[in-house]
Chains A and B, each alone.
Chain A
């Protein structure tokens, strides 16, 4: 039995060491972090939109973690100051992301607050950003002959508009856009927010 004991005992020790430094210590270090004064909880529409962001897999091309000026020109691109742990107080699950096939979105709401722009851009990104490789999301919209009362009509450049009728946003698109424009972490940080 000696070999088995060494094997499983050693394996347990190794994974325990890894878990302590990468999960347990961050857990205790970060669990008293308070939200900054300028950060607001998500509204229910924004939370639904956040879920839509996950459902469409936006995270696989967009990060939400601007880097420090000293490391990269993220701030010069208008992506905002370097984020701190407190900025993510209301975020569950985290959506930090690992790719920038598209730009960082942590402050997209400050950079591009127009609902019209976002709706049109989701319907057909290439209508607004030539050369974009973002997927279009036609299934988040409906093409109708005529808008009905309460419909949110999407404004599109004529060459991208349907030959007949109007493009109307479905609720999922409206939620997603309300989440996107809520992404604004440009508020100033107090000294206590920058902690760890």
Chain B
């Protein structure tokens, strides 16, 4: 097939689609009305901060910072706040179950990752245990953090946001709980299979398909509360976070089902399908879930609607279009049709559009409000996670260029890139969101604010060491491999110090996760000093200032 026949129309369609979206935005087809951005606030609530994760002194400081910008606050509507309190209560159990499981998987996944990391520079360590061999424990790490931690944290946060966004109690909670049970069962069986060596052989799709069906069923069940709650919504306008959550919950079962269909895929076609899945599970599932959180919590904490609502929707649709077709850049130089690679490279470059839309919006919304980061733990995590989204996406675009890809492909650089995305962006965003959500879920404050700070610095320093070291090591590895005059072993030896540094970074991140999990347990068990419970709960902290 002549590549031009495919590429030219694809490129033109992209441009036309883009123009149509921009035009429709201008004409208000997607709710250009800036009132859309205010849907997450009750009447007169703009200017009122909400930060359940901060101790009362920080909350007051945060509010007075924002007061200096917005002036006199108006009285809030009690009925609406009461409605929100009901909404929060309706999702509490479901969210609690998902987040507790997520944190359990995070701990398991962290130790699996650390073990794999150490084995890469100490290959004879624990070598006699078959289930701990690098190829298995690395895969256990990936599946535990991806389908355990990230997925379940994303589900829990989505279930918590929906009633607030749709202003109605969460419907169909039983389906979500049953979904959680099936998902966990699938994951336990799946990871057990991986440890026993029963892997499907495809990256990101290792869990055997017989077990994977549980994930499809669980994911579909978790989508039911979304539909039922949508049907009962009392808001007219669907806020941008609903678009992200709705699309993510809709896309995942389709992706997984198509990818796992036994007996359909073959040879090289299976490889293109593999990276259609591998990249879209990021672009169609984890990224939108994390973005839904950013678009909700960031404006909510600072009491300021996002700057440009139109841009946020432009970002949603362009990302949904371009991101879906970039997976082929994982096969540059491989035995796949040339047109496919070129198309993926083009769409990788087009990803700049949604990323710039997001970045502009982010910077404009926080403009003049950066100082709020000092007082809000939620915001510290989420604001940093958002920056990392921009970085990882732009890095992805550059990495897809053939000249850069020739160096970085097949090296640890890609692993560092993956962690910039799934960790620095998605995981940090989820950490921040969980800090916001949990006090509402258990109706109790985080007992030790210092542990939040410890968690933040451990994971941030750990992840910087991890990503910087592994990127350098991977780049040097790539250069060594491209130099035919150097023996292959040079490319291995070059990476050793950087792999050791990665283990140090990974150990710091794991330590941060242990602090987080311990703090979570203390909070749930109601251990620790008693704080200002009544002020925080019921009608919310806003009442203090009203």
Which residues of A approach B to under 8 Å, CB–CB?
Answer: 3-4, 6-8, 10-12, 14-15, 17-19, 21-23, 25-27, 29-31, 33, 54-61, 63, 65, 67-68, 71-73, 76-77, 82-85, 87-89, 91-103, 125-126, 129, 131-139, 196
Contact = CB atoms under 8 A, between A and B. Distances in A.
Contacts of B491: 100
A196 B337 contact: yes
Contacts of A72: 333, 406, 481-482
Main secondary structure of the interface of B (DSSP, over half): helix
A92 B135 contact: no
Contacts of A17: 321, 324-325
Interface string B329-372: 01101111100100110000000000000000000000000000
Contacts of B343: 21
A55 to B, nearest CB: 4
Given A54-B201, A60-B139, A87-B335, A77 B484 contact: yes
Interface stretch (B53-61, B90-98, B150-158, B242-250): B242-250
B373 interface: no
A89 B270 CA distance: 11
A131 B280 CA distance: 37
14 contacts: A4-B230, A11-B251, A21-B343, A22-B340, A23-B269, A25-B6, A55-B199, A95-B201, A98-B330, A98-B410, A101-B412, A132-B489, A135-B135, A138-B128
Given A11-B320, A59-B203, A65 B123 contact: no
B134 interface: yes
Contact of B335 (A23, A65, A134): A65
A65 B134 CA distance: 22
Contacts of A3: 237-238
Interface of B: 1, 6, 10, 30, 119-121, 123-124, 127-130, 133-136, 138-139, 197-203, 230, 237-238, 242-243, 246-247, 250-251, 254-255, 258, 265-276, 280, 284, 317, 320-321, 324-325, 327-328, 330-331, 333-337, 340, 343-344, 402, 406, 409-412, 414, 481-484, 488-489, 491-493, 496
| Most B C-beta atoms less than 10 A away, residue of A10, A87, A134 | A10
B323 to A, nearest CB: 8
| Most B C-beta atoms less than 10 A away, residue of A61, A85, A87 | A85
A15 B251 contact: yes
